[in-house]
Amino acid sequence: MNEEIAKALERAHRVLIITHIDPDGDAIGSLLGLGLALEKMGKKVTMACENPVPRRFLYLPGSDRVVPYPMGSFEIVVALDASDLRRLGKAYSPELYGELPLINIDHHVTNPGFGTLNWVDPEAAATAQIVLELVEGMGAPLEPDVATCLLNGIVTDTRGFRTVNTTPQTLEAALKLQRAGANLVEVMENVFDRRPLGVLRLWAHILSQAQLEDRIIWAEKPRSLLEKFGLNDEGNYGLTNFMVGVEEADVAVIFSEKPGGEIDVSMRSVPGVDVSKVAAKLGGGGHPQAAGCRLKGTFQEVREKVLKELRKAL
Ligand code: AMP
Ligand code: MN
Ligand code: MN
For the domain with range 197-313, which CATH number is right: 3.30.60.50, 3.50.30.60, 3.10.310.30, 2.40.40.20? Answer: 3.10.310.30
**From 114, 158, 293, 302, mutation site for ligand 1 pocket: most ligand atoms within 8 A of C-beta:** 293
Fold match between domain 3-192 and domain 197-313: no
Do 210 and 218 form a contact (C-beta atoms < 8 A)? yes
pLDDT at residue 69 greater than cutoff 90: yes
User: Of all atoms in ligand 1, which is nearest to the CA of residue 82?
Assistant: 12
> Can you give the pLDDT at residue 141?
87
pLDDT at residue 194 greater than cutoff 90: no
Q: Which CATH architecture has domain 3-192?
A: Alpha-Beta Complex (3.90)
pLDDT at residue 235 greater than cutoff 90: no
What's the 152 CA to ligand 2 centre distance in angstroms? 12
Residue nearest to atom 14 of ligand 1 (CA): 292
pLDDT at residue 181 greater than cutoff 90: yes
Indicate the pTM of the whole model. Answer: 0.93
Do 130 and 121 form a contact (C-beta atoms < 8 A)? yes
Mean pLDDT over 21-44 rounds to: 97
Instruction: Work out the pLDDT band at 233, boundaries 50, 70, 90.
Output: confident
CA 165 to chain centre: 15
User: Of all atoms in ligand 1, which is nearest to the CA of residue 235?
Assistant: 3
Q: Which residues contact 298 (CB under 8 A, 6 or more apart)?
A: none
**From 26, 49, 87, 253, mutation site for ligand 1 pocket: most ligand atoms within 8 A of C-beta:** 87
What's the 314 CA to ligand 3 centre distance in angstroms? 25
Instruction: Work out the pLDDT band at 241, boundaries 50, 70, 90.
Output: very high
**From 19, 56, 108, mutation site for ligand 1 pocket: most ligand atoms within 8 A of C-beta:** 108
pLDDT at residue 237 greater than cutoff 90: no
Mean pLDDT over 261-282 rounds to: 96
> Can you give the pLDDT at residue 85?
96
User: Of all atoms in ligand 1, which is nearest to the CA of residue 283?
Assistant: 20
Domain boundaries defined on the chain: 3-192, 197-313
Q: Which residues line ligand 1 (CB under 6 A)?
A: 24, 83, 87, 240, 266, 284-287, 290-294
Instruction: Work out the pLDDT band at 156, boundaries 50, 70, 90.
Output: very high
> Can you give the pLDDT at residue 234?
84
What's the 26 CA to ligand 3 centre distance in angstroms? 5
- How does the average pLDDT of the chain come out, rounded? 96
Mean pLDDT over 56-62 rounds to: 96
> Can you give the pLDDT at residue 160?
95
> Can you give the pLDDT at residue 283?
95
Ligand nearest the Cα atom of residue 124: 3
Residue nearest to atom 20 of ligand 1 (CA): 284
Mean pLDDT over 166-173 rounds to: 97
User: Of all atoms in ligand 1, which is nearest to the CA of residue 266?
Assistant: 2
What's the 290 CA to ligand 1 centre distance in angstroms? 7
What's the 99 CA to ligand 2 centre distance in angstroms? 25
What's the 159 CA to ligand 1 centre distance in angstroms? 15
What's the 228 CA to ligand 3 centre distance in angstroms? 30
Instruction: Work out the pLDDT band at 162, boundaries 50, 70, 90.
Output: very high
What's the 25 CA to ligand 2 centre distance in angstroms? 7
> Can you give the pLDDT at residue 98?
95
Instruction: Work out the pLDDT band at 11, boundaries 50, 70, 90.
Output: very high
Ligand nearest the Cα atom of residue 23: 2
> Can you give the pLDDT at residue 257?
96
Over residues 299-311, the pLDDT tens digits come to 999 999 999 999 9
> Can you give the pLDDT at residue 172?
98
Ligand nearest the Cα atom of residue 291: 1
Mean pLDDT over 15-20 rounds to: 98
Over residues 284-301, the pLDDT tens digits come to 998 899 999 999 999 999
